[in-house]
Structure 1
Amino acid sequence: KPQVKETTQSQDNSGDQRQVDLTPKKVTQNQVAETQVVVAQPRTASESKPRVTRSADVVEAKEASNASEIKGTDVTSKVTVEDESKIEAPKGNNVQPHEGQRVVLKYKLKFQDGLKTGDYFDFTLSNNVNTHGVATTRKVPDIKNGSLVMAKGQVLDNGRIRYTFTDYIKDKVNVTANLEINLFIDPKTVQNNGQQTITSKLNGKETSGTMQLTYKDGVKNQYTNVNGSIETFDKEKNKFTHVAYIKPINGNNSDSVTVTGVLTQGSNEYGTQPNVKIYEYVGTEKGLPQSVYANTADSTQLKDVTNQMSDKLKVQNNGSYSLNFDKLDKTYVIHYTGDYLNGTSEVNFRTQLTGYPENRYKTYYYYNNGYTLTWDNGLVLYSNKADGDGKYGPIVDSNNFEFSEDSGNGSISGQYDAKQIIETEENQDNTPLDIDYHTAIDGEGGYVDGYIETIEETDSSAI
């Protein structure tokens, strides 16, 4: 059984020390890359071969297993939040979530020495933001030094975020971190336009930012308003959900109305029929949330009328639906669940309404006064392998650690050379989602170029 020789040093290094060979060695790219592969790749079934074990083997294996268990401690109290930390909106203090505008938490942190593998620190976000946007994956970006992951991020409950240190934190002193996380406005909590204060608390210190939030109100004419939003997007299952508002406005009703929902890009011709639910709004005069959020479980606000309208609803395997109203004199919410084509680089879901202003006399004027309203919700999937700017703002990817190496005999300052690490494809739910809103009022000026919302799915490295 291998023996581990321990030694003590007069210098206090805030932790147990093992005797190590401190002779400088040349580290090659292949050596580091090989280490990374061993760490990153799990064992396969073919590597596990049955063998006959003796009782001594079992005891030794149990001891080895216990030794491999890393039990870290909460070191939140050892983290100092520097005064430069802040929460800000890259596009200014008037944030428009439907244009992809988000806020960014920028932490500058300092850690006490003595950090060990498995140690962790937590901070808590206010409930008016989240780290995932429309993505179903709940992740936050890791903190890296070059390409080495120094601390892995994790989303816990009630707005808590945890970072757990990896093996690379061993023997590091004078550790500081720059941490930036995209925060998306939560449409469930923040349902209407107004001022919001967003906060993050770490070790008793609150970092905050106050800004005005403004949602888009869709496309409208003097008769009807159509709005929509992608509610969730699941890249693993190739599924998404969508919410559409269909509202008569200004006291005007419409006749012979048809609402369609269709994937104009990313349609799966041989897919399954979407699940379309229709709800009549029965709430107060306050109306539906401006954030285009629908709590379909709340029967005091939304009444499920899908069965009553089943003869007016048609769905297709390619993901489209068509819904007819003899008269549109009430507000409706349409909730859509469908899939898109696997491997597509772009998804666009179009909600379109055609109708005629209410008129008891079907004259020539009536039949030539029809109108069409179109609202597009699109997503562009692309790889976030390099630093760069999104169309409407930078994609944040600048989390990093700085430290000194505690060698027991002085220190060597610097950062790991990222070139020593093999670049890997960043497809672990790091792909940002570029969400594209377009509007069109056919018959009233043609197609109108709309809005682009950039939502980053993080690890959330987005989400």
Structure 2
Amino acid sequence: NPQVKETTQSQDNSGDQRQVDLTPKKATQNQVAETQVEVAQPRTALESKPRVTRSTDVAEAKEASDAKVETGTDVTSKVTVEDESKIEAPKGNNVQPHEGQRVVLKYKLKFQDGLKTGDYFDFTLSNNVNTHGVATTRKVPDIKNGSLVMAKGQVLDNGRIRYTFTDYIKDKVNVTANLEINLFIDPKTVQSNGQQTITSKLNGKETSGTMQITYKDGVKNQYTNVNGSIETFDKEKNKFTHVAYIKPINGNNSDSVTVTGMLTQGSNENGTQPNVKIYEYVGVENGLPQSVYANTVDSTQLKDVTNQMGDKLKVQNNGSYSLNFDKLDKTYVIHYTGDYLNGTSEVNFRTQLTGYPENRYKTYYYYNNGYTLTWDNGLVLYSNKANGDGKYGPIVDSNNFEFSEDSGNGSISGQYDAKQIIETEENQDNTPLDIDYHTAIDGEGGYVDGYIETIEETDSSAI
């Protein structure tokens, strides 16, 4: 197991007090199935922290319900945001959310003395980002000193984040904190490619960064475009939701089209039938969100035609569905809710379309000009129990406090073990996810390289 070493330094201006500098470090190992098309890129301390969210109405309601009444004092006005604080994109200012690229809020904070148990401070994020990605759980990383939780993080409503101090803050002076939180582009708010300014406000000071947001557009040929995205992923209930776009393009229609959705990995053969809803897109031309977001209650954009499909839509207990169109001449959005096999290490959901270019004469050429488009959305679940440097290098949790002890008599109260062992446990809150998208176009030039979307599903551990 990795160890965290503590250093004690003399402090000139505090008599017998000593400055305690504890920077927790945590290493985990990502274990990826050998069949994965691409491997994720190395993560760094810059990318290592919070938790993900994808905006759905249900999730937002749950965020609001997490708020609770605090018994301590709001000490936000006693927090100074240092000039080194910033919002940046680790991979440059062109952020591609479908590749898992995120933005990092890096706070360097200084606190006035006199903090007490239960005291809290808040800051507010702009609505174009969130802290959870596709995960249904709402958490941000706690701030620790070694293995001790100094302040517990909490996601409130309207982009507010709250940190509440624990008992360990007692008698601490000269407190500073380095806080890094991953921010994910919200696909509901940011539906199109373009520039976005991301902000966080704490005690009247705004920290900001401007990024170019670029989404992937799925897989296509000259006739049809297929795109898809994992919308939510609930590890506690073993359920997930998925959105697929089926779109004729270039004025070309197709005949005898079949769309299938299935779990090629993680299928629960004894599961329940998925809930599949078919929507006809009735909005303006080319108006589908590039973020692959479906507001299924907006009847001005999406018209529920599930019942009209009749026996053309078939669902199976193993989580698969098939949908047949005699002619594909309209754009459709397919919303899928299903479950996956408990305990599986990898989930892959495939949306596949087969069809023929529209041709009123069924000639030999017609029957030999069929095409297939395939779009995979996969998730790899990692265990955080691995020791040492992982496949992608060590993962560092750099949220930390620095402080001096002040017990009233000049002595140090609460000397910490100089060799604290940091261990992670595999549970619902600290098992990270990787989301892997890759595509294949049969008969259209073979395999098309895909891309990785990284989703962090952890409160104090990183991928």
| TM-score w.r.t. length of structure 1 | 0.83
SS at match of 1:424: coil
The runs of at least 4 consecutive aligned structure 1 residues that moved more than 4 Å come to 1-70, 385-396, 411-415, 460-463
- Give per-residue Cα distances to partners, 1:316-370, cap 9 Å, x unaligned: 0000000000000000000000000000010000000000000000000000000
Q: How far did 1:409 drift?
A: 2.7
- Pick closer, same or farther for the CA change 1:319–1:8 going to 2, 3 Å: closer
- Pick closer, same or farther for the CA change 1:269–1:62 going to 2, 3 Å: closer
Paired position in structure 2 for 1:91? 91
Paired position in structure 1 for 2:249? 249
Q: How far did 1:431 drift?
A: 1.5
SS at match of 1:393: coil
| Range with greater deviation from structure 2 (262-271 or 60-69) | 60-69
* Aligned counterparts of 2:87 and 2:319: Cα–Cα separation in 1: 40
* Aligned counterparts of 2:445 and 2:121: Cα–Cα separation in 1: 56
Q: Does 1:401 align with 2:401?
A: yes
Contact 1:244 1:334 in 2 (8 A): yes
- Pick closer, same or farther for the CA change 1:263–1:76 going to 2, 3 Å: same
Paired position in structure 2 for 1:154? 154
Q: How far did 1:419 drift?
A: 3.7
Q: How far did 1:451 drift?
A: 0.6
* Aligned counterparts of 2:57 and 2:247: Cα–Cα separation in 1: 72
- Pick closer, same or farther for the CA change 1:325–1:7 going to 2, 3 Å: closer
* Aligned counterparts of 1:108 and 1:124: Cα–Cα separation in 2: 16
Contact 1:28 1:420 in 2 (8 A): no
Q: How far did 1:13 drift?
A: 15
* Aligned counterparts of 2:287 and 2:32: Cα–Cα separation in 1: 59
- Give per-residue Cα distances to partners, 1:104-125, cap 9 Å, x unaligned: 1000001111111100000000
| Range with greater deviation from structure 2 (34-43 or 330-339) | 34-43
Contact 1:13 1:408 in 2 (8 A): no
| Correspondences of 1:85-234 after superposition (within 5 Å) | 85-234=85-234
Contact 2:19 2:404 in 1 (8 A): no
- Pick closer, same or farther for the CA change 1:193–1:461 going to 2, 3 Å: same
- Pick closer, same or farther for the CA change 1:462–1:44 going to 2, 3 Å: closer
* Aligned counterparts of 1:211 and 1:52: Cα–Cα separation in 2: 19
Q: How far did 1:447 drift?
A: 1.8
Q: How far did 1:420 drift?
A: 3.8
* Aligned counterparts of 1:36 and 1:426: Cα–Cα separation in 2: 22
- Pick closer, same or farther for the CA change 1:36–1:81 going to 2, 3 Å: farther
SS at match of 2:30: helix
SS at match of 1:394: coil
* Aligned counterparts of 2:59 and 2:294: Cα–Cα separation in 1: 57
Contact 2:127 2:189 in 1 (8 A): yes
Q: How far did 1:373 drift?
A: 0.3
Q: How many residues align?
A: 463
Q: How far did 1:155 drift?
A: 0.2
Contact 1:33 1:420 in 2 (8 A): no
| Range with greater deviation from structure 2 (331-340 or 385-394) | 385-394
* Aligned counterparts of 2:117 and 2:102: Cα–Cα separation in 1: 33
- Pick closer, same or farther for the CA change 1:47–1:365 going to 2, 3 Å: closer
- Pick closer, same or farther for the CA change 1:92–1:379 going to 2, 3 Å: same
- Pick closer, same or farther for the CA change 1:24–1:447 going to 2, 3 Å: closer
* Aligned counterparts of 1:94 and 1:10: Cα–Cα separation in 2: 44
Contact 1:182 1:396 in 2 (8 A): no
* Aligned counterparts of 1:388 and 1:344: Cα–Cα separation in 2: 24
Ranges in structure 2 where 5+ consecutive residues have no aligned partner: none
- Pick closer, same or farther for the CA change 1:411–1:97 going to 2, 3 Å: farther
CA RMSD of aligned residues (A): 12.7
| Range with greater deviation from structure 2 (438-447 or 321-330) | 438-447
Contact 1:32 1:420 in 2 (8 A): no
* Aligned counterparts of 1:56 and 1:274: Cα–Cα separation in 2: 19
SS at match of 2:56: helix
- Pick closer, same or farther for the CA change 1:369–1:15 going to 2, 3 Å: farther
- Pick closer, same or farther for the CA change 1:233–1:393 going to 2, 3 Å: farther
Larger Rg: 1
Identity within the alignment, %: 96
SS at match of 2:61: helix
Contact 1:428 1:459 in 2 (8 A): no
| TM-score w.r.t. length of structure 2 | 0.83
- Give per-residue Cα distances to partners, 1:115-149, cap 9 Å, x unaligned: 11100000000000000000000100000001110
- Give per-residue Cα distances to partners, 1:38-96, cap 9 Å, x unaligned: 99999999999999999999999999999999831000000000000000001000000
Q: How far did 1:433 drift?
A: 1.1
SS at match of 2:427: coil
* Aligned counterparts of 2:290 and 2:58: Cα–Cα separation in 1: 62
| Range with greater deviation from structure 2 (347-356 or 283-292) | 283-292
- Pick closer, same or farther for the CA change 1:339–1:33 going to 2, 3 Å: closer
- Pick closer, same or farther for the CA change 1:327–1:8 going to 2, 3 Å: closer
| Range with greater deviation from structure 2 (363-372 or 23-32) | 23-32
* Aligned counterparts of 2:29 and 2:373: Cα–Cα separation in 1: 58
